[in-house]
């Protein structure tokens, strides 16, 4: 069962998203919260996924607060805006999802499931902007050059990460402990010069590692 916490200052939005997810047998909305109560609510209910409204002034600080928790959940920002500034703020603050609020309601359950499994989820209009922005000035040869810094094992981990596998799934696939997977990912980020899984995945694609 995937536990979810919904964070939004608007009670109507919280109720609406709760209703949308209510038909999924494998998803449970553990709690909803307004922004000031979010971190405390997340600590109490330990969700795997947080759906976070991006329209509040302190969304950036809240995302960082969630990320500082001992076992942070995956954070998916729900936004009415596809402006690059909003996207950059959300992803830069640690969110691994950015989904527009006009997404068809029947897609939200799939978003939650994928986020729980370690995927990065972004709406199509957002993904095009993210890819274009990150790859600007990064040639295929540069991507190959960066990836060449990795060991053979690190490249294996990078490919699985880029395919959307969680750290736990990567460990199971490669017969590695969770701690070892985390160490590999830290080394990958350092050698590639990136800070986020999405950035690493894009470089893997740019270097031709993905099928």
Claim to verify: residue 112 and residue 155 sit in the same structural domain: no
Mean pLDDT of 183-194: 92
In total, how many domains does the chain have? 2
Q: What is the pLDDT of residues 52-67, one digit of tens each?
A: 887 655 666 666 788 7
Q: Report the alpha-carbon angle 95-100-104, nearest 5.
A: 125
User: Terminus-to-terminus CA distance in the chain, angstroms?
Assistant: 31
**Which phi and psi (to 5°) does residue 77 adopt?**
-80, 130
> What span, in angstroms and rounded, lies between the C-alpha atoms of 98 and 96?
7
Say which CATH number the domain at 58 has. Answer: 3.40.50.2300
Q: Is 150 found in the same domain as 126?
A: no
Question: What average pLDDT does the segment 172-183 reach?
Answer: 93
Q: What is the pLDDT of residue 135?
A: 52
What are the φ and ψ backbone dihedral angles of 128, each rounded to 5 degrees? Answer: -60, -40
Split at pLDDT 50, 70, 90, the class of 167 is: confident
Coil, helix or strand at residue 8? coil
Any idea what the CATH number is for the domain that residue 198 is in? 1.10.10.10
Domain boundary among 82, 110, 132: 132
Q: How large is the average pLDDT for residues 124-132?
A: 60
Q: How far is 178 from 172, CA to CA, in rounded Å? A: 9
Shared domain for 19 and 69, answered yes or no, is yes
């Amino acid at each position: 069962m995937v536990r979810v916490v919904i964070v939004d200052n608007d009670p109507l939005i919280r109720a609406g998203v709760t209703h949308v997810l209510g038909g999924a047998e494998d998803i449970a909305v553990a709690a909803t919260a307004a922004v000031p109560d979010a971190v405390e609510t997340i600590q109490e209910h330990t969700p795997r996924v947080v759906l976070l409204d991006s329209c509040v002034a302190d969304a950036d600080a809240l995302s960082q607060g969630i990320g500082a928790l001992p076992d942070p959940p995956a954070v998916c920002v729900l936004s009415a805006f596809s402006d690059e500034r909003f996207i950059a703020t959300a992803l830069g603050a640690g969110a691994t999802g950015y989904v527009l609020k006009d997404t068809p309601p029947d897609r939200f359950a799939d978003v939650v499931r994928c986020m729980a499994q370690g995927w990065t989820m972004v709406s199509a209009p957002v993904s095009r902007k993210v890819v274009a922005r990150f790859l600007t000035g990064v040639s295929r040869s540069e991507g190959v050059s960066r990836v060449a810094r990795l060991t053979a094992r690190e490249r294996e981990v990078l490919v699985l990460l880029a395919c959307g596998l969680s750290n736990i799934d990567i460990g199971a696939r490669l017969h590695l402990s969770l701690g070892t997977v985390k160490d590999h990912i830290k080394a990958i980020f350092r050698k590639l010069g990136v800070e986020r899984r999405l950035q690493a995945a894009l470089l893997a694609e740019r270097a031709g590692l993905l099928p």
